Chains A and B, each alone.
Chain A
Amino acid sequence: MFLTKEEEKIFNGEKGEVLERMFRLLVRLGDIYGANKMIPVGSVQVAGVSFKSIGTPGLEFLEDYAKKGAKIKVLTFLNPAGMDLENWKELGFPEDFAEKQIRVMNAFKEMGIVVTSTCTPYLAGNLPRFGEHIAWSESSAVSFSNSVIGARTNREGGPSALAAALCGLTPNYGLHIDENRKPNIVVNVDAELKYNADFGALGSFVGKIVKDKIPYFKGIKNTNTDQLKALGAAMAASGAVALYHAENLTPEAHLMDIKGLEKIEVGEKELKETYAQLNTGENPDIVILGCPHASLREISDLAEKIKGKKMKKPLWICTSRVMKECANRMGYTEIVEKAGGEIVADTCAVVSPIEKMGYNTTGVDSGKAANYLPGFCKQKVVFKNVDELIKVIE
């Protein structure tokens, strides 16, 4: 790989041990994936934040590097943490877990990373522009930034994203390169898509078939960004889709040639089958919405739906701290709480230790959560649209 004179100095340790290790990591990953050079990144999102995922080894690594003076060079946000960082006690998160999670956050903060933990950085103040090179980690955020915004990122691991943040660079390979952003399979959709859950079911079905390909959707109409967020998240969870195009909806779609590509068809039948497959339980102990983190529109829609009702089971809607502040100000939080629900910030169903909090069956309207909860949190899943979920627990 070509390195500039300045980069050679970092590689040889002239800028200190932290940068040397971090830069070597980027160079080696670049070699493995065939990068020709380093490129500057404008924004980073680091995964590996929940203490549940990184454990004591991860915590100790982060504290060591923070102590050695690691400092970020570009705007850097974090993936969700393992708990609501302000409200954890009330929500029943274990104390020993909380102590470790707070140490993780402090280490990141010392490096200059914005301790806003969310899988939707683009809704919380970290918005890249079209075509900008970035290094993001969380799979749904990677999908959204590549597909809906048209920024460019590979799916980074926790350490490689941290290295990108500390060096301000990433190796030039994969989705940073025009050639690798072309679709290689067409998905013809002929079904009514109304709820986020419908988009989650579509994404779950398609991800399983296309795996790590780049799908080009035809036939999706009248969507908003919340629905595209749900679609991308599900495809990244059931497959490894980091970029999709959708005709008349995403910014690079019109640049793409789809002649001669393999095609798959998705209709009502496939969606119905996917709903059936993802439902592994009944009678949820808790309903968790906001996977990926809810937008303000999703929170206000929920508040409208449950206003004046009383939920018999816990109901969480997970979101970023920024959205929660808006919800507080608009009175949505009060409405949700009066109905027996909680607006939970900084964390989500997938990365929080819900299996240790007495929950065995979780109701979700997210294709991503429905894919991950059985494995990550040992949950049985009730996968329905938001109206049906409310009906089950009200």
Chain B
Amino acid sequence: MGDNMKGRTIYPGKTEGEALVSKTPIGFYGGIDASTGIVIEKGHELEGKSVTNKILVFPNGKGSTVGSYVIYGLKKNGVAPKAIINRETETIVATGVILAGIPCVDKINIDEIKNGDRLVVDAGKGVVEVK
């Protein structure tokens, strides 16, 4: 297989792991618990799932700008995703991953990634590989 996709570096870093995919945007403030990494937004397609050590894949962020600090909190509390892959990283997520130092790539066609896919990410090169 080895399906390579090329996007844009938001924050560099190399990692690999299991994809957790959301087809809908994620609002981190009030959406994910910074102390546990569990998605808490009522009715969200990932509600109850943990983002910890996953490669979190979603189209874009939404909601309060305080979301940036929640991403930072996830990292600090050791429950952050290994990397974030977006269709379009807007400023809330961009700010959060950079403050926290979480590898992040955008401009990726996320429709080609399925839940549970094994991903290899080289965010500095903007490359996402589906194993």
B91 at the interface (CB under 8 A from A): yes
Q: How far is the CA of A32 from the CA of B92 in the complex (A)?
A: 12
Q: How far is the CA of A21 from the CA of B71 in the complex (A)?
A: 14
Residues of the B chain whose Cβ atoms lie less than 8 Å from the Cβ of A54: 66, 69
- Mask, B54-78, CB within 8 Å of A = 1, is 0000000000011011101100100
Q: How far is the CA of A388 from the CA of B106 in the complex (A)?
A: 54
B25 at the interface (CB under 8 A from A): no
Assess whether B99 is in contact with A53, with CB atoms less than 8 Å apart.
Answer: no
Given A55-B69, A57-B70, A157-B65; A28-B99 close (CB under 8 Å): no
Residues of the B chain whose Cβ atoms lie less than 8 Å from the Cβ of A29: 91, 94-95
Residues of the A chain whose Cβ atoms lie less than 8 Å from the Cβ of B10: 28
Assess whether B99 is in contact with A157, with CB atoms less than 8 Å apart.
Answer: no
Q: How far is the CA of A25 from the CA of B11 in the complex (A)?
A: 9
**Min CB distance, B94 to chain A, in Å?**
5
**Min CB distance, A21 to chain B, in Å?**
6
Assess whether A61 is in contact with B99, with CB atoms less than 8 Å apart.
Answer: yes
A251 at the interface (CB under 8 A from B): no
- Mask, A147-180, CB within 8 Å of B = 1, is 0000000000111100000000000000000000
Assess whether A158 is in contact with B65, with CB atoms less than 8 Å apart.
Answer: yes
**Residue ID in chain B nearest A58 by CB atoms:** B69
B17 at the interface (CB under 8 A from A): no
Assess whether B95 is in contact with A61, with CB atoms less than 8 Å apart.
Answer: no
B98 at the interface (CB under 8 A from A): yes
Assess whether B101 is in contact with A21, with CB atoms less than 8 Å apart.
Answer: yes
**Residue ID in chain A nearest B95 by CB atoms:** A159
Assess whether A28 is in contact with B94, with CB atoms less than 8 Å apart.
Answer: yes
Partner of B95, one of A31, A56, A60, A157: A157
Q: Give the B interface residue count (CB, 8 A).
A: 21
Q: How far is the CA of A55 from the CA of B68 in the complex (A)?
A: 12
In chain B between 22 and 41, which residues have their CB closer than 8 angstroms to a CB of chain A? 29, 34
Q: Give the A interface residue count (CB, 8 A).
A: 21
**Min CB distance, B14 to chain A, in Å?**
16
Q: Is the interface of A mostly helix, strand, loop or mixed?
A: helix
Residues of the B chain whose Cβ atoms lie less than 8 Å from the Cβ of A48: 65-66
Assess whether A57 is in contact with B72, with CB atoms less than 8 Å apart.
Answer: yes
Assess whether A61 is in contact with B73, with CB atoms less than 8 Å apart.
Answer: yes
Assess whether B11 is in contact with A24, with CB atoms less than 8 Å apart.
Answer: yes
In chain A between 45 and 84, which residues have their CB closer than 8 angstroms to a CB of chain B? 48, 53-58, 60-61, 64
Q: How far is the CA of A239 from the CA of B36 in the complex (A)?
A: 37
Given A29-B91, A158-B65; A57-B73 close (CB under 8 Å): yes
Assess whether B98 is in contact with A28, with CB atoms less than 8 Å apart.
Answer: yes
Q: How far is the CA of A234 from the CA of B33 in the complex (A)?
A: 34
Assess whether B101 is in contact with A55, with CB atoms less than 8 Å apart.
Answer: no
Partner of A64, one of B76, B91, B98: B76
- Mask, A202-225, CB within 8 Å of B = 1, is 000000000000000000000000
Q: How far is the CA of A58 from the CA of B96 in the complex (A)?
A: 11
17 contacts between A and B (CB under 8 A): A28-B11, A28-B98, A29-B91, A32-B89, A32-B90, A32-B94, A54-B66, A54-B69, A55-B69, A56-B73, A57-B34, A57-B66, A60-B69, A157-B65, A157-B68, A157-B91, A157-B95
Query: A residues within 8 Å of B by Cβ?
Result: 21, 24-25, 28-29, 31-32, 48, 53-58, 60-61, 64, 157-160
The 10 closest A-B pairs by CB, nearest first: A57-B69, A57-B73, A58-B69, A25-B98, A61-B72, A159-B95, A57-B70, A61-B69, A24-B98, A157-B65
* Apart from A29-B91, A159-B68: 16 A-B pairs, beta carbons within 8 A: A21-B101, A24-B11, A28-B94, A28-B98, A54-B66, A56-B73, A57-B72, A58-B66, A60-B72, A64-B76, A157-B65, A157-B91, A157-B95, A158-B65, A159-B95, A159-B99
